[in-house]
Amino acid sequence: MTIAEIQPQSSGRQTGAKILDPGMDLTLRPMRYPVFYDMYRDAIKNTWTVEEVDFSTDLVDLSSRLLPAERHLIHRLVAFFATGDSIVSNNLVLNLYKHINAPEARMYLSRQLYEEALHVQFYLTLLDTYIPDMKERELAFAAIHNVPAIKAKADFCFKWIDSVQSLERIETKKDRRDFLLNLICFACCIEGLFFFAAFAYVYFLRSKGLLNGLASGTNWVFRDESMHMQFALEVVQTVRSEDPDLFDDELDADVNRMLEEAVDCEMEFANDILGQGVPGMSTGDMRGYLEFVADQRLANLGMPKRFGTKNPFGFMELQDVQELSNFFERRVSAYQVGVTGEVAFDETF
């Protein structure tokens, strides 16, 4: 990118500049997309630290209360966590930040990157706590190479990272469409389905009175991931309003195929993670849950539902999964750090 390409587009802000225009707008006022600045501020209010998570009762559960099948579930789950958020971070830095051309949106992405790093720290602490054996821990960190079901999920992610990896500037309709599919994939399939499936396993164990430390930390990760989805979906909606011709039958078909592939990929993981027979959770119910969540993602995108499956996991209703379309309208209230100060969105200079 040349110096000329990153000059502030001050006049363009008032003459129809779009969020996927090439270049790098540096001018915050007048603010074109104040909703992204609001999201940035809301994310600040949801600040938490890994040190606040108490794993002491989890250690008791791991040593004396978990069944062998449940222990296998946890080892596989933390192995996925070990690299999952790092993959998301790479896509954020390499692809999203480079092409979402609004400084207020990039402020949010900067905050998201911090949160992804926080999640990586949380899962690192989780592995070090849950898997004291060094050899087992090394295998967990290398799971994308030695666990086929986790490798399949990683390959799915890398395929969509690679799809826009060589894209330096968004110049054509095809460029915008490729970028849009990457954004939708990471919001709806990876953060919005792979991670929501992982949360389901955590909250299932919590419903049995197990691993409350893991569940309490997951509550905060859940809020972060929900806000990440909200941001990405807002970008998609902005692109829809600015480039409506991108949203055609071909895009709908591609998104449906993408979600079907994600469900199948996650089911491969479910067959592994539940393969030893976990009482109270079946692979059939997990498929139903994944199809239910996939339908919610299609609805979030303004597309018709594909599966028509009901949520089989009553314990997940406590996490508002059944009402995701309304989840984003509720403010985080259970854990907030106060932030003061106001910004005028219409100020010019």
Question: Nearest Cα to 307, choosing from 291, 319, 283, 318?
Answer: 291
State how far the Cα of 101 lies from the Cα of 239, in Å rounded to an integer. Answer: 11
Please say whether the dihedral angle defined by the alpha carbons of residues 321, 323, 326 and 332, taken in this order, is positive or negative: negative
Calculate the alpha carbon distances from 129 to 47, 53, 83, 133, 302 in Å.
23, 12, 17, 10, 42
38 CB contacts (<8 Å, ≥6 apart)?
Answer: none
Q: Cβ neighbours of residue 192 under 8 Å, at least 6 residues apart?
A: 225, 229, 293, 297, 300
Decide if 335 is catalytic.
no
Q: How far apart are CA 64 and CA 59, in angstroms?
A: 9
Catalytic residue among 37, 40, 108, 123: 123
Smallest CA-to-CA distance from 241 within 14, 6, 98, 33 is with 33
Question: 82 with 143: CB under 8 angstroms?
Answer: yes
Instruction: Please report, as a single letter, which amino acid is at residue 142.
Output: A
Does an H or E element contain 148, and which?
Answer: helix 148-162
Give yes or no for a contact between 278 and 73, defined as CB atoms under 8 angstroms apart. Answer: yes
Contacts of 160 (CB under 8 A, 6+ apart): 91, 181, 182, 185, 186
Distance in angstroms (rounded) separating the CA atoms of residues 151 and 136: 17
How far, in Å, CA of 73 to CA of 270, rounded? 9
Provide the annotated active-site residues. Answer: 123
